[in-house]
Amino acid sequence: MGILIYLAKRWVAGEYLEDAIERARSANNRGISGIINHVGEHNEDIAEIEASAEEYSRLLDGIKQEKIDCAISIKPTQLGLMKDVQTCIRTVDPLVKKAADLGIFIWMDMEGSAYTQQIIDIYKHLYKENKNLGLAIQAYLFRTPDDLKELSAMGAKIRLCKGAYREPADIAIKKHCDIKKAYADQLEMLFSEGGLERIAVATHDDELIDMARQLNNDHPRNFEFQMLMGAHDKRKEELAGEGYKVCGYIPYGKGWLGYFLRRLNEQKRDIKTAMVCVLKGD
Ligand SMILES: Cc1cc2nc3c(=O)[nH]c(=O)nc-3n(C[C@H](O)[C@H](O)[C@H](O)COP(=O)(O)OP(=O)(O)OC[C@H]3O[C@@H](n4cnc5c(N)ncnc54)[C@H](O)[C@@H]3O)c2cc1C
């Protein structure tokens, strides 16, 4: 248990938003922007949904007051999607508008495939009026190339990640090397064809990071690297030193340990990766 707590503290900021803001400040001091997420998902209860929205609202105020270079990242099932799409839109819209007034960007995480279509629909609806909003898209889903074409056509802002959930073989690529190839193909399409207003390359995979740099040389785009807090810290600083925008994803909240354990359970490979990281002092 001791090693898990040690690892978790490396990957999550702590229980309170002040902890997250401190981590973001420390990232800023190293030339890295923050993306703060209040851990939580699958809120069924309206009181929990409202409490989560209130927490994000306080977080926006905190970021503004403390003058931190930081976005936030939200999960739709945390903010009303467990009720329905309309509840989620009603909950998220005021947050996005408040963030816009404060000059803060909001990312919507992508969740399991049961929610993919609804989350894309929510994003499209909100993005019409709110340009300070980005959406995560998962390279491992078969549907993703079509989604990316549609989102590019509307000038969306997209974070491309490999995908973190266990999905069935009839809708998602299963082999790691094939997921990486799909990611590379999608990245190439996004850079070469244009259309997106912002591309976030969310990976710790050095080959894909190098590929994004090369693609950006050939087709300069508004793009940034995104990585998790506590992961690949040296690489983040090198990239920031080269002038790239680099963001660290900073989760916090009272459920941090449970969140961390769930993530390890969902993706056991992360245990090995995290331990290698700690041992390498990276
Ligand atoms: C900022 C950010 C936001 C994300 N948002 C979402 C989302 O909304 N929805 C979603 O489904 N998934 C999300 N993910 C998770 C993502 O889909 C992958 O599951 C995760 O990033 C692992 O894939 P990878 O490409 O980073 O590296 P992998 O393919 O797992 O590994 C490639 C190499 O990267 C290194 N590496 C990988 N992970 C780590 C780590 N944690 N610490 C240190 N080194 C590591 C290792 O050296 C490894 O060999 C997000 C990831 C990031 C970084």
- Which tens digit of pLDDT belongs to each residue from 61-101? 999 999 999 999 999 999 999 999 999 999 999 999 999 99
pLDDT at 75: 98
CB of 231 within 6 A of ligand 1: the answer is yes
What tens digit of pLDDT does each residue of 188-224 get? 999 999 999 999 999 999 999 999 999 999 999 999 9
Domain 2-280 has CATH 3.60.15.10: no
Kindly list the domain boundaries of the chain, sorted by start residue: 2-280
Q: What is the atom index within ligand 1 of the atom nearest the CA of 208? A: 25
Per-residue confidence at 37, pLDDT binned at 50, 70, 90?
A: very high
Q: Is the pLDDT of residue 235 over 60?
A: yes
Using CB atoms within 10 Å of the CB of residue 218, give its burial: 0 to 12 exposed, 13 to 18 middle, 19+ buried.
Answer: exposed
Q: Which residues of 254-273 are buried (b: 16+ CB within 10 A; e: fewer)?
A: ebbbebbeebbeeeeebeee
CB of 182 within 6 A of ligand 1: the answer is no
- Dist. CA 225–CA 203, nearest whole Å: 8
Helix (H) / strand (E) containing 1: none
pLDDT at 8: 78
User: Encoding tokens for residue 16?
Assistant: 């309170």
pLDDT at 220: 96
188: how many CB neighbours lie within 10 A of its CB? 16
CB of 119 within 6 A of ligand 1: the answer is no
Mean pLDDT for the chain?
92
CB of 82 within 6 A of ligand 1: the answer is no
pLDDT (mean) for 121-131? 97
Q: What is the atom index within ligand 1 of the atom nearest the CA of 108? A: 8
Q: Of the candidates 108, 182, 195, which has an alpha carbon nearest to the alpha carbon of residue 139?
A: 182
Report the separation in Å between the CA atom of 157 and the middle of ligand 1, taken as the mean of its atom positions. 19
